[in-house]
Structure 1
Amino acid sequence: MTTADTLKDIEELQQRCEQYEGISLKLNWDMLRLPSAAGGTEWLVTYEEELLVGFIGLYSFSSEMEICGMVRPGYRRRGIFTSLWMRAQSIIKQKKVTTLLLNTPANSASGSAFLQTLPLVFNHAEYQMKWDGSTLPQGSGEASSAAGTVVLRPAREDEESILIKLDSGGFNMSEEDAAEVFEMYKHEGLEEHIIIEMNGQPAGKMRLSTEDNETWIFGFTVDQKLRGLGIGRSALLQTIERERRNYNSVNLEVSLDNPNALKLYESCGFVILNKQDYYRYTG
Protein backbone atom coordinates (compact mmCIF):
# COMPACT_ATOMS: atom_id res chain seq x y z
CA MET A 1 0.00 0.00 0.00
CA THR A 2 1.33 3.43 -0.95
CA THR A 3 1.56 6.49 1.30
CA ALA A 4 -1.17 8.13 -0.79
CA ASP A 5 -3.47 5.16 -0.14
CA THR A 6 -2.82 5.35 3.59
CA LEU A 7 -3.52 9.09 3.65
CA LYS A 8 -6.87 8.47 1.93
CA ASP A 9 -7.68 5.85 4.57
CA ILE A 10 -6.71 8.27 7.36
CA GLU A 11 -8.98 10.94 5.88
CA GLU A 12 -11.89 8.49 5.66
CA LEU A 13 -11.31 7.37 9.25
CA GLN A 14 -11.22 10.99 10.43
CA GLN A 15 -14.56 11.71 8.74
CA ARG A 16 -16.11 8.60 10.27
CA CYS A 17 -14.93 9.48 13.79
CA GLU A 18 -16.00 13.11 13.49
CA GLN A 19 -19.48 12.19 12.26
CA TYR A 20 -19.92 9.58 14.97
CA GLU A 21 -19.00 11.85 17.89
CA GLY A 22 -19.86 15.25 16.45
CA ILE A 23 -16.28 16.47 16.92
CA SER A 24 -13.46 18.05 14.91
CA LEU A 25 -10.10 16.31 15.12
CA LYS A 26 -6.92 18.33 14.69
CA LEU A 27 -4.75 16.13 12.47
CA ASN A 28 -2.55 18.90 10.99
CA TRP A 29 -2.98 17.79 7.38
CA ASP A 30 -0.35 20.26 6.20
CA MET A 31 2.19 18.23 8.18
CA LEU A 32 0.70 14.82 7.39
CA ARG A 33 1.27 15.38 3.69
CA LEU A 34 4.93 16.28 4.16
CA PRO A 35 7.49 13.44 4.16
CA SER A 36 8.92 12.98 7.65
CA ALA A 37 12.41 13.80 6.33
CA ALA A 38 11.12 17.25 5.32
CA GLY A 39 9.75 17.95 8.78
CA GLY A 40 6.38 16.28 8.41
CA THR A 41 4.72 14.10 10.98
CA GLU A 42 5.28 10.43 11.65
CA TRP A 43 2.30 8.17 12.09
CA LEU A 44 1.40 4.64 13.10
CA VAL A 45 -1.69 2.79 11.92
CA THR A 46 -3.59 -0.41 12.63
CA TYR A 47 -5.48 -2.31 9.93
CA GLU A 48 -7.91 -5.19 10.33
CA GLU A 49 -8.88 -7.05 7.15
CA GLU A 50 -7.66 -4.13 5.02
CA LEU A 51 -9.77 -1.62 7.00
CA LEU A 52 -7.97 1.16 8.84
CA VAL A 53 -9.18 1.01 12.44
CA GLY A 54 -6.57 3.01 14.36
CA PHE A 55 -4.21 5.95 13.83
CA ILE A 56 -1.77 7.96 15.92
CA GLY A 57 0.12 11.01 14.61
CA LEU A 58 3.32 12.38 16.17
CA TYR A 59 3.95 16.00 15.21
CA SER A 60 7.41 17.36 15.98
CA PHE A 61 8.06 21.06 16.60
CA SER A 62 11.75 21.23 17.48
CA SER A 63 12.00 19.71 21.00
CA GLU A 64 8.20 19.70 21.46
CA MET A 65 5.89 17.00 20.15
CA GLU A 66 2.10 16.91 19.83
CA ILE A 67 0.13 13.68 19.59
CA CYS A 68 -3.38 13.06 18.33
CA GLY A 69 -5.10 9.86 17.30
CA MET A 70 -8.36 8.03 16.71
CA VAL A 71 -9.98 4.59 16.63
CA ARG A 72 -12.86 3.62 14.38
CA PRO A 73 -16.26 3.42 16.11
CA GLY A 74 -17.17 -0.23 16.63
CA TYR A 75 -13.52 -1.16 17.23
CA ARG A 76 -13.03 0.74 20.48
CA ARG A 77 -12.37 -0.72 23.95
CA ARG A 78 -10.18 -3.41 22.37
CA GLY A 79 -6.80 -1.88 23.23
CA ILE A 80 -6.10 -0.63 19.70
CA PHE A 81 -5.09 2.88 20.71
CA THR A 82 -3.18 1.64 23.76
CA SER A 83 -1.14 -0.56 21.43
CA LEU A 84 -0.46 2.39 19.10
CA TRP A 85 0.58 4.52 22.08
CA MET A 86 3.03 1.84 23.25
CA ARG A 87 4.52 1.56 19.74
CA ALA A 88 4.92 5.33 19.63
CA GLN A 89 7.21 5.34 22.68
CA SER A 90 10.29 4.37 20.64
CA ILE A 91 9.72 7.30 18.24
CA ILE A 92 9.27 9.70 21.13
CA LYS A 93 12.55 8.57 22.70
CA GLN A 94 14.45 8.88 19.42
CA LYS A 95 13.26 12.49 19.01
CA LYS A 96 14.58 13.45 22.46
CA VAL A 97 11.33 15.24 23.22
CA THR A 98 11.37 17.66 26.17
CA THR A 99 7.66 18.60 26.04
CA LEU A 100 5.06 16.04 25.01
CA LEU A 101 1.50 17.26 24.47
CA LEU A 102 -1.54 15.10 23.80
CA ASN A 103 -4.61 16.79 22.41
CA THR A 104 -8.25 15.85 22.05
CA PRO A 105 -11.45 17.68 21.11
CA ALA A 106 -12.94 19.00 24.33
CA ASN A 107 -16.24 17.21 23.64
CA SER A 108 -14.74 13.85 22.69
CA ALA A 109 -15.85 11.31 25.29
CA SER A 110 -13.56 8.57 23.95
CA GLY A 111 -10.50 10.85 23.76
CA SER A 112 -11.02 12.21 27.27
CA ALA A 113 -11.53 8.71 28.65
CA PHE A 114 -8.20 7.48 27.27
CA LEU A 115 -6.26 10.54 28.46
CA GLN A 116 -7.56 9.96 31.99
CA THR A 117 -5.53 6.73 32.05
CA LEU A 118 -2.22 8.61 31.54
CA PRO A 119 -0.12 10.82 33.85
CA LEU A 120 -1.07 14.23 32.42
CA VAL A 121 -1.62 17.82 33.49
CA PHE A 122 -3.75 20.32 31.59
CA ASN A 123 -1.53 22.59 29.48
CA HIS A 124 -3.75 24.86 27.38
CA ALA A 125 -6.77 25.01 25.11
CA GLU A 126 -7.18 26.20 21.54
CA TYR A 127 -10.30 27.49 19.85
CA GLN A 128 -10.93 26.75 16.18
CA MET A 129 -12.77 29.72 14.71
CA LYS A 130 -14.60 30.39 11.44
CA TRP A 131 -15.51 33.72 9.87
CA ASP A 132 -19.24 34.38 9.88
CA GLY A 133 -20.16 37.82 8.61
CA SER A 134 -23.72 37.50 9.91
CA THR A 135 -22.41 37.89 13.48
CA LEU A 136 -20.71 41.25 12.85
CA PRO A 137 -22.11 44.19 14.84
CA GLN A 138 -23.04 47.24 12.77
CA GLY A 139 -19.91 49.00 11.53
CA SER A 140 -17.44 46.47 12.93
CA GLY A 141 -16.44 45.25 9.48
CA GLU A 142 -15.16 48.64 8.43
CA ALA A 143 -11.49 49.29 7.71
CA SER A 144 -9.21 49.48 10.72
CA SER A 145 -7.75 52.69 12.10
CA ALA A 146 -4.17 51.66 11.26
CA ALA A 147 -2.02 54.80 11.23
CA GLY A 148 -0.59 54.13 7.79
CA THR A 149 -1.09 52.03 4.68
CA VAL A 150 -1.31 48.29 5.42
CA VAL A 151 -0.53 46.04 2.45
CA LEU A 152 -0.42 42.25 2.20
CA ARG A 153 1.95 40.64 -0.31
CA PRO A 154 3.70 37.29 -0.90
CA ALA A 155 6.99 36.94 0.96
CA ARG A 156 10.11 36.86 -1.21
CA GLU A 157 12.75 34.15 -0.94
CA ASP A 158 15.25 36.63 0.50
CA GLU A 159 12.89 37.48 3.39
CA GLU A 160 13.20 34.21 5.30
CA SER A 161 15.08 35.93 8.14
CA ILE A 162 12.25 38.47 8.52
CA LEU A 163 9.62 35.74 8.77
CA ILE A 164 11.71 33.82 11.29
CA LYS A 165 12.29 36.89 13.46
CA LEU A 166 8.57 37.73 13.46
CA ASP A 167 7.69 34.14 14.44
CA SER A 168 10.28 34.20 17.21
CA GLY A 169 8.94 37.42 18.70
CA GLY A 170 5.29 36.59 18.14
CA PHE A 171 5.21 33.05 19.48
CA ASN A 172 7.82 33.15 22.24
CA MET A 173 10.28 30.89 20.41
CA SER A 174 14.01 31.03 19.97
CA GLU A 175 15.09 32.00 16.47
CA GLU A 176 16.55 28.49 16.08
CA ASP A 177 13.16 26.89 16.82
CA ALA A 178 11.40 29.43 14.58
CA ALA A 179 13.82 28.56 11.76
CA GLU A 180 12.98 24.86 12.14
CA VAL A 181 9.26 25.58 11.95
CA PHE A 182 9.77 27.79 8.90
CA GLU A 183 11.81 25.10 7.13
CA MET A 184 9.01 22.62 7.78
CA TYR A 185 6.48 24.69 5.82
CA LYS A 186 8.87 26.22 3.30
CA HIS A 187 8.18 23.77 0.48
CA GLU A 188 4.52 23.09 1.20
CA GLY A 189 2.81 23.91 -2.11
CA LEU A 190 -0.61 24.56 -0.57
CA GLU A 191 0.65 27.37 1.66
CA GLU A 192 1.35 31.04 1.05
CA HIS A 193 3.78 32.99 3.21
CA ILE A 194 2.43 36.52 3.50
CA ILE A 195 4.26 39.67 4.61
CA ILE A 196 2.13 42.39 6.21
CA GLU A 197 3.60 45.82 5.44
CA MET A 198 2.85 49.21 6.93
CA ASN A 199 4.16 52.21 5.00
CA GLY A 200 6.35 49.90 2.93
CA GLN A 201 8.06 48.19 5.90
CA PRO A 202 7.47 44.62 7.19
CA ALA A 203 5.15 44.79 10.20
CA GLY A 204 3.82 41.23 10.49
CA LYS A 205 3.23 37.93 8.72
CA MET A 206 0.85 35.00 8.27
CA ARG A 207 0.57 31.72 6.40
CA LEU A 208 -2.49 30.86 4.34
CA SER A 209 -3.42 27.28 3.47
CA THR A 210 -6.33 26.65 1.10
CA GLU A 211 -7.93 23.38 0.13
CA ASP A 212 -11.48 22.52 -0.96
CA ASN A 213 -12.54 26.18 -0.63
CA GLU A 214 -11.40 26.26 3.01
CA THR A 215 -8.65 28.75 3.89
CA TRP A 216 -6.83 28.53 7.22
CA ILE A 217 -4.78 31.36 8.69
CA PHE A 218 -1.67 30.16 10.53
CA GLY A 219 1.28 31.89 12.16
CA PHE A 220 -0.47 35.28 12.23
CA THR A 221 1.53 37.85 14.17
CA VAL A 222 2.34 41.56 14.22
CA ASP A 223 5.69 43.01 15.30
CA GLN A 224 5.49 43.62 19.06
CA LYS A 225 6.66 47.22 18.64
CA LEU A 226 3.79 47.95 16.24
CA ARG A 227 0.85 46.41 18.06
CA GLY A 228 -2.15 48.52 18.98
CA LEU A 229 -2.09 50.44 15.69
CA GLY A 230 -4.81 48.43 13.94
CA ILE A 231 -2.38 46.57 11.68
CA GLY A 232 -3.66 43.11 12.63
CA ARG A 233 -7.29 44.11 12.15
CA SER A 234 -6.56 45.60 8.73
CA ALA A 235 -4.65 42.47 7.67
CA LEU A 236 -7.52 40.22 8.80
CA LEU A 237 -10.18 42.25 7.02
CA GLN A 238 -8.14 42.30 3.80
CA THR A 239 -7.63 38.53 3.99
CA ILE A 240 -11.32 37.91 4.61
CA GLU A 241 -12.27 40.08 1.64
CA ARG A 242 -9.79 38.33 -0.66
CA GLU A 243 -10.97 34.86 0.32
CA ARG A 244 -14.63 35.83 -0.03
CA ARG A 245 -13.95 36.95 -3.60
CA ASN A 246 -12.48 33.49 -4.22
CA TYR A 247 -15.51 31.81 -2.58
CA ASN A 248 -13.38 30.43 0.26
CA SER A 249 -14.41 30.23 3.90
CA VAL A 250 -11.84 31.55 6.40
CA ASN A 251 -10.70 29.70 9.54
CA LEU A 252 -8.07 30.13 12.24
CA GLU A 253 -7.01 28.94 15.68
CA VAL A 254 -6.32 30.90 18.84
CA SER A 255 -5.09 29.82 22.27
CA LEU A 256 -7.38 30.27 25.25
CA ASP A 257 -4.60 32.18 27.02
CA ASN A 258 -4.50 34.87 24.30
CA PRO A 259 -7.57 37.00 25.13
CA ASN A 260 -6.43 39.99 23.05
CA ALA A 261 -6.26 37.88 19.89
CA LEU A 262 -9.61 36.22 20.69
CA LYS A 263 -11.24 39.65 21.08
CA LEU A 264 -9.74 40.84 17.78
CA TYR A 265 -10.96 37.79 15.87
CA GLU A 266 -14.46 38.02 17.32
CA SER A 267 -14.64 41.73 16.45
CA CYS A 268 -13.83 40.82 12.83
CA GLY A 269 -16.67 38.29 12.65
CA PHE A 270 -15.03 35.00 13.67
CA VAL A 271 -17.05 32.60 15.82
CA ILE A 272 -15.86 29.64 17.89
CA LEU A 273 -16.67 26.26 16.36
CA ASN A 274 -14.54 23.79 18.31
CA LYS A 275 -12.22 23.61 21.28
CA GLN A 276 -9.11 21.43 21.51
CA ASP A 277 -7.67 20.57 24.93
CA TYR A 278 -3.92 19.99 25.29
CA TYR A 279 -2.41 17.95 28.13
CA ARG A 280 1.29 17.72 29.02
CA TYR A 281 2.59 14.22 29.60
CA THR A 282 4.40 13.94 32.94
CA GLY A 283 5.43 10.28 32.71
Structure 2
Amino acid sequence: MTGLTTHETLREIEELQRRCEEFEGISMKLNWDSLRREPGGGAAEWLVTYEDELLAGFIGLYSFGSEIEVCGMVRPGYRRRGIFTSLWKRAQSYIARGGAQTVLLNAPAASKSAAGFLKTLPLDFDHAEYQMKWDEKQAAERSAFENKILPDDHVILRPARADEMALLVALDSRGFDMTPEEAADMYDELAMEGNTEHIIVELDGQPAGKLRLWTERHETWIYAFTVDEKLRGRGIGRSALLQTIQREKRSGNGVNLEVSLDNPNALKLYESCGFVITNKQDYFRYIG
Protein backbone atom coordinates (compact mmCIF):
# COMPACT_ATOMS: atom_id res chain seq x y z
CA MET A 1 0.00 0.00 0.00
CA THR A 2 1.33 3.45 -0.81
CA GLY A 3 1.90 6.07 1.81
CA LEU A 4 2.20 9.68 0.70
CA THR A 5 1.38 9.85 -3.00
CA THR A 6 4.01 11.31 -5.31
CA HIS A 7 3.52 13.40 -8.43
CA GLU A 8 5.72 10.97 -10.33
CA THR A 9 3.59 7.93 -9.51
CA LEU A 10 0.38 9.82 -10.23
CA ARG A 11 1.74 10.76 -13.64
CA GLU A 12 2.46 7.09 -14.27
CA ILE A 13 -1.12 6.20 -13.29
CA GLU A 14 -2.43 8.85 -15.68
CA GLU A 15 -0.28 7.45 -18.47
CA LEU A 16 -1.49 3.92 -17.74
CA GLN A 17 -5.10 5.10 -17.80
CA ARG A 18 -4.59 6.73 -21.21
CA ARG A 19 -3.02 3.54 -22.59
CA CYS A 20 -5.87 1.36 -21.34
CA GLU A 21 -8.58 3.72 -22.55
CA GLU A 22 -7.06 4.08 -26.01
CA PHE A 23 -6.50 0.32 -26.32
CA GLU A 24 -10.12 -0.60 -25.51
CA GLY A 25 -11.91 2.57 -26.56
CA ILE A 26 -13.34 3.10 -23.06
CA SER A 27 -13.47 5.74 -20.35
CA MET A 28 -12.45 4.75 -16.83
CA LYS A 29 -13.66 6.31 -13.59
CA LEU A 30 -10.63 6.69 -11.35
CA ASN A 31 -11.93 9.50 -9.10
CA TRP A 32 -8.89 11.70 -9.56
CA ASP A 33 -10.08 14.19 -6.95
CA SER A 34 -9.64 11.44 -4.34
CA LEU A 35 -6.39 10.11 -5.78
CA ARG A 36 -4.73 13.52 -5.50
CA ARG A 37 -5.74 14.25 -1.91
CA GLU A 38 -3.25 14.03 0.91
CA PRO A 39 -3.58 11.02 3.27
CA GLY A 40 -6.19 11.63 5.96
CA GLY A 41 -8.16 14.10 3.82
CA GLY A 42 -10.49 11.69 2.10
CA ALA A 43 -7.74 10.32 -0.10
CA ALA A 44 -8.09 7.08 -1.99
CA GLU A 45 -5.87 4.13 -1.18
CA TRP A 46 -4.15 2.46 -4.08
CA LEU A 47 -1.93 -0.48 -4.97
CA VAL A 48 0.42 -0.80 -7.93
CA THR A 49 2.54 -3.44 -9.64
CA TYR A 50 5.65 -2.78 -11.74
CA GLU A 51 7.15 -5.04 -14.39
CA ASP A 52 10.09 -4.23 -16.65
CA GLU A 53 10.34 -0.88 -14.81
CA LEU A 54 6.87 0.03 -16.09
CA LEU A 55 3.69 0.54 -14.10
CA ALA A 56 1.83 -2.60 -15.17
CA GLY A 57 -1.14 -2.70 -12.81
CA PHE A 58 -3.18 -0.40 -10.59
CA ILE A 59 -6.13 -0.79 -8.24
CA GLY A 60 -7.83 2.08 -6.41
CA LEU A 61 -10.02 1.84 -3.30
CA TYR A 62 -12.37 4.71 -2.64
CA SER A 63 -14.20 4.97 0.68
CA PHE A 64 -17.64 6.57 0.77
CA GLY A 65 -18.97 6.15 4.28
CA SER A 66 -19.51 2.44 4.90
CA GLU A 67 -19.00 1.65 1.22
CA ILE A 68 -15.83 1.04 -0.76
CA GLU A 69 -15.63 1.34 -4.54
CA VAL A 70 -12.90 -0.52 -6.39
CA CYS A 71 -11.57 0.19 -9.87
CA GLY A 72 -8.38 -0.94 -11.56
CA MET A 73 -6.49 -1.67 -14.76
CA VAL A 74 -3.61 -3.62 -16.27
CA ARG A 75 -1.37 -2.37 -19.06
CA PRO A 76 -2.10 -3.88 -22.50
CA GLY A 77 0.59 -6.44 -23.28
CA TYR A 78 0.89 -7.40 -19.60
CA ARG A 79 -2.51 -8.99 -19.24
CA ARG A 80 -3.23 -12.67 -18.56
CA ARG A 81 -0.25 -12.80 -16.17
CA GLY A 82 -2.31 -12.73 -12.98
CA ILE A 83 -1.39 -9.13 -12.22
CA PHE A 84 -4.89 -7.94 -11.43
CA THR A 85 -5.75 -11.12 -9.53
CA SER A 86 -2.76 -10.46 -7.29
CA LEU A 87 -3.76 -6.82 -6.80
CA TRP A 88 -7.32 -7.86 -5.95
CA LYS A 89 -6.08 -10.30 -3.29
CA ARG A 90 -4.03 -7.53 -1.70
CA ALA A 91 -7.01 -5.18 -1.88
CA GLN A 92 -9.21 -7.72 -0.10
CA SER A 93 -6.86 -7.65 2.89
CA TYR A 94 -7.19 -3.87 3.08
CA ILE A 95 -10.97 -4.03 2.71
CA ALA A 96 -11.24 -6.63 5.50
CA ARG A 97 -9.25 -4.43 7.87
CA GLY A 98 -11.44 -1.43 7.09
CA GLY A 99 -14.68 -3.25 7.86
CA ALA A 100 -16.64 -1.85 4.92
CA GLN A 101 -20.25 -2.99 4.79
CA THR A 102 -20.50 -2.81 1.00
CA VAL A 103 -17.84 -3.38 -1.67
CA LEU A 104 -18.64 -2.26 -5.22
CA LEU A 105 -16.46 -3.07 -8.21
CA ASN A 106 -16.75 -0.47 -10.95
CA ALA A 107 -15.92 -1.09 -14.61
CA PRO A 108 -16.69 0.52 -17.98
CA ALA A 109 -19.56 -1.42 -19.55
CA ALA A 110 -17.64 -1.63 -22.84
CA SER A 111 -14.47 -3.14 -21.35
CA LYS A 112 -14.07 -6.76 -22.46
CA SER A 113 -11.06 -7.30 -20.19
CA ALA A 114 -13.03 -6.12 -17.14
CA ALA A 115 -15.98 -8.32 -18.05
CA GLY A 116 -13.70 -11.36 -18.24
CA PHE A 117 -12.25 -10.76 -14.78
CA LEU A 118 -15.58 -9.93 -13.15
CA LYS A 119 -17.00 -13.26 -14.29
CA THR A 120 -14.50 -15.01 -12.01
CA LEU A 121 -15.83 -13.31 -8.85
CA PRO A 122 -18.97 -13.83 -6.73
CA LEU A 123 -20.87 -10.68 -7.66
CA ASP A 124 -24.38 -9.30 -7.92
CA PHE A 125 -25.17 -6.50 -10.33
CA ASP A 126 -25.86 -3.38 -8.24
CA HIS A 127 -26.49 -0.48 -10.59
CA ALA A 128 -25.21 1.37 -13.64
CA GLU A 129 -24.46 5.00 -14.34
CA TYR A 130 -24.31 7.05 -17.51
CA GLN A 131 -21.55 9.59 -17.87
CA MET A 132 -22.90 12.59 -19.75
CA LYS A 133 -21.36 15.68 -21.34
CA TRP A 134 -23.06 18.93 -22.24
CA ASP A 135 -23.21 19.48 -26.00
CA GLU A 136 -23.99 22.97 -27.28
CA LYS A 137 -25.40 21.66 -30.55
CA GLN A 138 -27.77 19.31 -28.73
CA ALA A 139 -28.78 22.10 -26.38
CA ALA A 140 -29.61 24.36 -29.32
CA GLU A 141 -31.62 21.64 -31.05
CA ARG A 142 -33.61 21.01 -27.89
CA SER A 143 -34.00 24.75 -27.23
CA ALA A 144 -32.93 24.12 -23.65
CA PHE A 145 -31.97 27.74 -23.05
CA GLU A 146 -35.31 28.99 -24.34
CA ASN A 147 -37.37 26.82 -21.98
CA LYS A 148 -39.31 28.66 -19.32
CA ILE A 149 -37.38 28.58 -16.05
CA LEU A 150 -37.52 30.57 -12.86
CA PRO A 151 -35.85 33.98 -13.28
CA ASP A 152 -32.32 34.17 -11.93
CA ASP A 153 -33.37 36.62 -9.23
CA HIS A 154 -35.44 33.78 -7.71
CA VAL A 155 -32.90 30.95 -8.07
CA ILE A 156 -29.39 31.91 -6.99
CA LEU A 157 -26.23 29.80 -6.83
CA ARG A 158 -23.59 30.74 -4.28
CA PRO A 159 -20.56 29.10 -2.62
CA ALA A 160 -21.33 27.20 0.58
CA ARG A 161 -19.96 28.84 3.71
CA ALA A 162 -17.69 27.05 6.14
CA ASP A 163 -20.45 27.04 8.77
CA GLU A 164 -22.95 25.26 6.48
CA MET A 165 -21.68 21.71 6.86
CA ALA A 166 -24.89 20.65 8.64
CA LEU A 167 -26.98 22.04 5.77
CA LEU A 168 -24.95 20.16 3.15
CA VAL A 169 -25.17 16.96 5.17
CA ALA A 170 -28.95 17.32 5.59
CA LEU A 171 -29.50 17.91 1.86
CA ASP A 172 -27.29 14.95 0.92
CA SER A 173 -28.96 12.72 3.49
CA ARG A 174 -32.47 13.46 2.22
CA GLY A 175 -31.51 13.60 -1.44
CA PHE A 176 -29.48 10.42 -1.68
CA ASP A 177 -31.15 8.17 0.89
CA MET A 178 -28.22 8.18 3.31
CA THR A 179 -28.09 8.41 7.06
CA PRO A 180 -26.77 11.73 8.40
CA GLU A 181 -23.68 9.86 9.59
CA GLU A 182 -23.02 8.45 6.12
CA ALA A 183 -23.53 11.86 4.55
CA ALA A 184 -21.20 13.49 7.09
CA ASP A 185 -18.48 10.95 6.27
CA MET A 186 -18.51 12.25 2.70
CA TYR A 187 -17.09 15.55 3.89
CA ASP A 188 -13.60 15.41 5.29
CA GLU A 189 -13.61 19.18 5.54
CA LEU A 190 -15.63 21.94 3.92
CA ALA A 191 -12.63 24.15 3.20
CA MET A 192 -12.62 24.62 -0.57
CA GLU A 193 -9.38 22.79 -1.21
CA GLY A 194 -8.05 21.93 -4.60
CA ASN A 195 -10.42 22.07 -7.54
CA THR A 196 -13.66 21.43 -5.63
CA GLU A 197 -16.52 23.86 -4.98
CA HIS A 198 -19.58 23.20 -2.83
CA ILE A 199 -22.53 25.23 -4.13
CA ILE A 200 -25.79 26.11 -2.37
CA VAL A 201 -28.89 26.63 -4.53
CA GLU A 202 -31.23 29.24 -3.06
CA LEU A 203 -34.87 29.96 -3.88
CA ASP A 204 -35.90 33.48 -2.88
CA GLY A 205 -33.03 33.65 -0.41
CA GLN A 206 -33.65 30.28 1.24
CA PRO A 207 -31.56 27.10 0.74
CA ALA A 208 -33.31 24.79 -1.73
CA GLY A 209 -30.57 22.44 -2.92
CA LYS A 210 -26.86 21.92 -3.48
CA LEU A 211 -24.26 20.58 -5.85
CA ARG A 212 -20.54 19.99 -5.97
CA LEU A 213 -18.25 21.04 -8.81
CA TRP A 214 -14.84 19.56 -9.55
CA THR A 215 -12.75 21.12 -12.32
CA GLU A 216 -9.51 20.01 -13.92
CA ARG A 217 -7.99 20.78 -17.31
CA HIS A 218 -11.02 22.79 -18.38
CA GLU A 219 -13.45 19.97 -17.66
CA THR A 220 -15.99 20.47 -14.86
CA TRP A 221 -17.93 17.60 -13.28
CA ILE A 222 -21.21 18.13 -11.45
CA TYR A 223 -21.62 15.81 -8.47
CA ALA A 224 -24.15 15.37 -5.65
CA PHE A 225 -26.77 17.58 -7.30
CA THR A 226 -30.03 17.59 -5.35
CA VAL A 227 -33.06 19.79 -4.71
CA ASP A 228 -35.11 19.53 -1.52
CA GLU A 229 -37.91 17.08 -2.31
CA LYS A 230 -40.55 19.51 -0.99
CA LEU A 231 -39.51 22.05 -3.63
CA ARG A 232 -39.19 19.79 -6.66
CA GLY A 233 -41.27 20.31 -9.77
CA ARG A 234 -40.85 24.09 -9.71
CA GLY A 235 -37.96 24.39 -12.17
CA ILE A 236 -35.32 24.96 -9.49
CA GLY A 237 -33.10 22.10 -10.64
CA ARG A 238 -33.34 23.15 -14.27
CA SER A 239 -32.49 26.76 -13.44
CA ALA A 240 -29.52 25.71 -11.29
CA LEU A 241 -28.26 23.37 -14.00
CA LEU A 242 -28.53 25.94 -16.78
CA GLN A 243 -26.84 28.59 -14.65
CA THR A 244 -23.98 26.19 -13.94
CA ILE A 245 -23.61 25.40 -17.65
CA GLN A 246 -23.59 29.11 -18.52
CA ARG A 247 -20.97 29.85 -15.86
CA GLU A 248 -18.65 27.04 -16.94
CA LYS A 249 -19.12 27.90 -20.60
CA ARG A 250 -17.95 31.47 -19.88
CA SER A 251 -14.84 29.98 -18.26
CA GLY A 252 -14.17 27.80 -21.29
CA ASN A 253 -14.89 24.57 -19.41
CA GLY A 254 -16.70 21.49 -20.62
CA VAL A 255 -19.51 20.30 -18.33
CA ASN A 256 -19.96 16.66 -17.31
CA LEU A 257 -22.07 14.68 -14.86
CA GLU A 258 -23.14 11.17 -13.92
CA VAL A 259 -26.65 9.82 -13.51
CA SER A 260 -27.93 6.44 -12.39
CA LEU A 261 -29.98 4.50 -14.91
CA ASP A 262 -32.65 4.01 -12.26
CA ASN A 263 -33.19 7.78 -12.02
CA PRO A 264 -35.20 8.45 -15.22
CA ASN A 265 -36.44 11.88 -14.09
CA ALA A 266 -32.89 13.19 -13.71
CA LEU A 267 -31.84 11.59 -17.00
CA LYS A 268 -34.76 13.30 -18.77
CA LEU A 269 -33.82 16.66 -17.24
CA TYR A 270 -30.18 16.36 -18.26
CA GLU A 271 -31.02 15.32 -21.81
CA SER A 272 -33.49 18.19 -22.16
CA CYS A 273 -30.71 20.61 -21.19
CA GLY A 274 -28.35 19.31 -23.88
CA PHE A 275 -26.38 16.55 -22.14
CA VAL A 276 -25.53 13.49 -24.21
CA ILE A 277 -24.44 10.05 -23.00
CA THR A 278 -20.74 9.40 -23.53
CA ASN A 279 -20.08 6.28 -21.45
CA LYS A 280 -21.73 3.74 -19.18
CA GLN A 281 -20.21 2.45 -15.95
CA ASP A 282 -21.41 -0.78 -14.31
CA TYR A 283 -21.23 -1.44 -10.56
CA PHE A 284 -21.19 -4.94 -9.07
CA ARG A 285 -21.60 -5.78 -5.37
CA TYR A 286 -19.04 -8.24 -4.05
CA ILE A 287 -20.72 -11.08 -2.11
CA GLY A 288 -17.71 -13.29 -1.46
TM range (shorter): over 0.9
In the alignment, what sits opposite 1:145? 149
In the alignment, what sits opposite 2:26? 23
> Residues of 1 paired with 2:71 and 2:48: CA distance?
12
> Residues of 2 paired with 1:192 and 1:120: CA distance?
35
In the alignment, what sits opposite 1:165? 170
Partner SS state of residue 81, structure 1 = helix
Deviations 1:216-271 (A, max 9, x none): 10111101111100000000100101111111100000001100000000000000
Letter in 2 for 1:82: T
In the alignment, what sits opposite 1:222? 227
TM-score, normalised relative to structure 2 = 0.95
Partner SS state of residue 187, structure 2 = helix
1:53–1:71 CA contact under 8 A, matched in 2: yes
> Residues of 1 paired with 2:254 and 2:48: CA distance?
31
Size of the aligned set, in residue pairs, is: 283
Match of 1:279 among 264, 279, 284: 284
Partner SS state of residue 36, structure 1 = coil
> Residues of 1 paired with 2:26 and 2:88: CA distance?
21
Shift of 1:96: 0.3
In the alignment, what sits opposite 2:40? 37
Query: Which blocks of at least 5 consecutive residues in structure 2 are unaligned?
Result: none
Deviates more, 1:49-58 or 1:34-43: 34-43
> Residues of 2 paired with 1:231 and 1:273: CA distance?
26
> Residues of 1 paired with 2:19 and 2:182: CA distance?
35
Letter in 1 for 2:54: L
The equivalences for 1:69-84 within 5 A come to 69-84=72-87
Match of 2:274 among 269, 272, 281: 269
In the alignment, what sits opposite 2:209? 204
TM-score, normalised relative to structure 1 = 0.96
Query: Which blocks of at least 5 consecutive residues in structure 1 are unaligned?
Result: none
2:211–2:222 CA contact under 8 A, matched in 1: yes
- Report the CA distance shift for 1:144/1:182 in structure 2 as closer, same or farther (over 3 A): farther
Deviations 1:49-90 (A, max 9, x none): 321000000111111110000000000000000000011111
2:5–2:36 CA contact under 8 A, matched in 1: no
The equivalences for 1:108-187 within 5 A come to 108-136=111-139, 137-142=141-146, 144-146=148-150, 149-183=154-188, 186=191
> Residues of 1 paired with 2:201 and 2:9: CA distance?
37
Letter in 2 for 1:56: I
> Residues of 2 paired with 1:94 and 1:68: CA distance?
18
1:62 aligns with 2:65: yes
Shift of 1:184: 6.0
Deviations 1:175-218 (A, max 9, x none): 11111102267553210110100100000001111111101101
1:150–1:196 CA contact under 8 A, matched in 2: yes
> Residues of 2 paired with 1:158 and 1:277: CA distance?
36
1:166–1:223 CA contact under 8 A, matched in 2: yes
2:142–2:272 CA contact under 8 A, matched in 1: no
> Residues of 2 paired with 1:75 and 1:43: CA distance?
19
2:142–2:273 CA contact under 8 A, matched in 1: no
